[in-house]
Amino acid sequence: MQKMLQILKNHLEQGQDLVLVTVIAASGATPRGAGARMLVDSEGRLYGTIGGGAVEYRFLQIAGKVLEEKSSYGHDFSLTKDDVQNLGMICGGAVTVYFHYIPAGDPGTIALAQEAEGRFSLDQDLWLVSDIAAGGALSLADRSNPALAPHLTRHSHRIQENGKDLYIEQIHSAGKVYIFGGGHVAQELVPVLAHVVIDIGDSKSTVVEDMDSLTEQTGIPFVHVDATVATAPEAYRLLGQLLGREEKAEQLATWCENTYSELTKVMEQVDADGARKSMLYCLGDKGTNVIAEGSFHAETVNMMSRNLAVLEDVVSNGLGNEVDLEQILSWDPDVIVFAPDSCYEDVGTSAQWQGVRAIAEGNYYKTPYGPYGWLSSPPSVQRYLGMLWLGALLYPEYIQYDLQEAVTEYYKLFYSCELTEEAYQHLMANAMPET
């Protein structure tokens, strides 16, 4: 709604008549429910959607007529087989749609859009009220209005009582909602809850087009933040600007910069001495998937070791490339690290794996996990923990930091968590040589 009001304001100021099309009631199976909106000008749909296909085409035709007549009105549509001629499609439901004509330069609507923009920035609960009885006139409301307060709920609805005919929709919610997972439920929730969606990670060649497309589809600004291991400090600073948390972002960025700089210097000295260890990062229940050198997930392994998994066709996802034990034998790594859910517990007693020098000599370890993997899956800031761990594991004589102190500092800074001795030892189980 924030984006729609911005577009509405801009076009009214530019001298264009508009129609705000709103589904104010729906029952049964319909393409979109109550609250779906579409903004239309003389050229057609400007923003939003109320169903697509034949439904939307018919509504656009009516919106064009509203622009010609310069008059607002509502219309009931049936989507059943008995009344299919209404829309040319059968869904089994019914919708009531209101076509609100807004003349070019309308001062009341422009002022409302300006006020809404200011109140969005204050993170307040806010509702948009359409007075159907008064030609769809728009107003803003909050719970300070005693007459409307009982009707200001999270759900869009129509009120027809005591001579009033109002359609009320919440257009801003105060506070934060945390969504875990990216499935169908999350896909439905994000457009309702979000003011901006931030995609963090590897920059694909189509990232600009992808973000533009998602913004157009949802009406919510989508922003991509490049976040490799090296660019994490810049990513945090940008996130701080986007979220208004510059001070915290600077703390995280500075920690990343200092840690990356320290580990870079360690590896420069390691390379100067010709002491870089060869390594494989193995995944899967058989341990024969590897994170190859060219993968986005391999940044930490590449920085801290000589990644022997050099393959022609690199799999970009976190599952890695599938190889076989014969290939691992031919690579002959100095060290093997296994993913948290891999076959670490089995390889020590496996006759096949005993043929691999790193396994036979006991130079294999399990990657720490908590709350996510330290090397990849997902390729997040926890890779800094992976770098610190690999530095202590592979090059103890080169590092100047205490691993436990560094990990404890990270958990406090990034997660506001006081890492206990017991918790640390649990994280590091099978991750370091026995002493």
Q: What pLDDT is stored for residue 131 in this prediction?
A: 92
β strands within 113-196, DSSP E: 126-131, 137-141, 157-161, 164-172
Q: What pLDDT is stored for residue 192 in this prediction?
A: 56
Contact 156, 170 (CB under 8 A): yes
Question: CA 363 to CA 337: how far, in whole Å?
Answer: 9
Give CA torsion, residues 300, 305, 311, 317, to 10 deg: -20
- 319 Cβ partners below 8 Å, 6+ apart? 283, 284, 289
Q: What pLDDT is stored for residue 90 in this prediction?
A: 43
State pLDDT tens for residues 4-31. Answer: 899 999 999 999 999 999 988 877 656 6
Tokens of 98: 């209101």
Tokens of 387: 């770098």
Tokens of 65: 């007529």
Which CATH fold topology does 275-427 show? Answer: Rossmann fold (3.40.50)
Question: CA 65 to CA 101: how far, in whole Å?
Answer: 10
Question: CA 279 to CA 45: how far, in whole Å?
Answer: 57
Specify the residue for token string 């304001």.
9
Cis peptide before 107 (omega within 30 of 0): no
Which of 168, 160, 179 is CA-nearest to residue 126?
168
> Which residues of the chain are under the pLDDT cut of 50?
81-91
β strands within 330-409, DSSP E: 335-338, 364-366
Q: What pLDDT is stored for residue 75 in this prediction?
A: 85
Tokens of 331: 């690579």
Question: CA 411 to CA 430: how far, in whole Å?
Answer: 20
Q: What pLDDT is stored for residue 89 in this prediction?
A: 45
Q: What pLDDT is stored for residue 78 in this prediction?
A: 67
CB atoms within 10 A of CB 402: 11
Q: What pLDDT is stored for residue 194 in this prediction?
A: 59
- 328 Cβ partners below 8 Å, 6+ apart? 280, 282, 288, 290, 336, 356
196: left (phi over 0), alpha (psi -120 to 50) or beta: beta
Start and end residues for every CATH 3.40.50.1980 domain found in the chain = 275-427
Question: CA 285 to CA 338: how far, in whole Å?
Answer: 10
Q: What pLDDT is stored for residue 431 in this prediction?
A: 95
